[in-house]
Chains A and B, each alone.
Chain A
Amino acid sequence: GAVVSQHPSWVICKSGTSVKIECRSLDFQATTMFWYRQFPKQSLMLMATSNEGSKATYEQGVEKDKFLINHASLTLSTLTVTSAHPEDSSFYICSARGTGNVVGEKLFFGSGTQLSVL
């Protein structure tokens, strides 16, 4: 149980276009989801916290107008990279915290999305 599905696995886009990444909790409800970014040979950096039905909370230095997050349901959060530029090329990973005492103590991660901006 506790599967997080992330789509797409990889995407290539032209500079200036927008890209949407979906994160779904398949067998549990996720009141809170998190978005991370990982550059090559570096660790994961938290970008923002996504709460169902409310605005996302962004970490310091992350542009909220560039990385739009929507968490419209208990099983889906989306990250849209707007007007993407080559420096936005990175591995984006989502995670979800479930509900319930046991499931809620852990974060479950998606398989990640490799974004390449040309």
Chain B
Amino acid sequence: DAKTTQPTSMDCAEGRAANLPCNHSTISGNEYVYWYRQIHSQGPQYIIHGLKNNETNEMASLIITEDRKSSTLILPHATLRDTAVYYCIVRPGGLYNFNKFYFGSGTKLNVKP
């Protein structure tokens, strides 16, 4: 059962930052926020995850609100290859509980030239 809410689709101009929101208002204290993306007819690709603090890696930044009820994935300079469905997932922490890794409907990001 997905515990997140995301917009169905978003458009972004190539070269601009893409900001993808996610609502997870029922998140528990030990649950992490994960972001994956799925390019058409491929398996999901890990992007980033976090618990409380904002996180950044070579792909994206993750901004989590102080109350942890929502987060935003930021792709700093979107390219056409970033066109994909982006999934925000909430999962209990630890090395287990991956059977509770539920995918919601995700956000289809369309990057346009």
Contacts and interface: CB of A to CB of B under 8 A. Distances in A.
Given A32-B98, A43-B87, A112 B41 contact: yes
Interface residues of B, number: 22
A82 interface: no
A93 interface: yes
B43 A93 contact: yes
Interface size class of A (residues with CB under 8 A): 20 to 34
Contacts of A110: 43
A43 B103 contact: yes
Contact of A91 (B32, B34, B41, B95): B41
18 contacts: A4-B43, A34-B98, A43-B2, A43-B103, A45-B103, A46-B101, A49-B98, A93-B43, A93-B44, A97-B98, A101-B95, A105-B95, A106-B49, A107-B101, A109-B45, A109-B46, A111-B42, A114-B41
A43 B46 CA distance: 16
A27 to B, nearest CB: 15
Nearest to B102: A46
B21 interface: no
Interface in B58-104: 87, 95, 98-99, 101-104
Contacts of A101: 95
